[in-house]
Amino acid sequence: MMKKLVAEFIGTFWLVLGGCGAAVLAAAFPHLGIGFLGVALAFGLTLLTMCYAIGHISGCHINPAVTLGLWSGGRFPGSEVVPYIIAQVLGGIGGAAVLYVIASGNRSEERRVGKECRL
């Protein structure tokens, strides 16, 4: 069971980092950067990589809605729903935290250059 939970954690972490990372870092609005299609492809390709990487281990739900849907359809045991959702939420929080650190960055160089330009 632990192997499945770690796989779900990694899968959700990767989806948030790759998909949301593309949206946050490369798709500014109104100048779209990679554009809506690029963000959609980033989400799709990160999901595809996880399907191949962890699909055979955990089923690659990487979304609590998918887990609940499979359970309500009778295709997933109820005893595994809560642990799966906890692993997915923690993976999403971890991916978001790493993305926050990357996106906020160290702006000390920008501040130094900005001061030189004002002189």
Q: Give the pLDDT confidence score for residue 107 in this predicted structure.
A: 65
Bigger pLDDT: 46 or 35? Answer: 46
On whether the CB atoms of residues 104 and 96 are closer than 8 A, the answer is: no
Angle at which helices 2-15 and 35-58 cross, to 10°: 170
Full-model pTM: 0.82
Does 51 score more than 70 pLDDT?
yes
- With tokens 């390709």, the residue in question is 45
Q: Give the model confidence (pLDDT) of 66-89 as tens digits.
A: 999 999 999 999 999 999 999 999
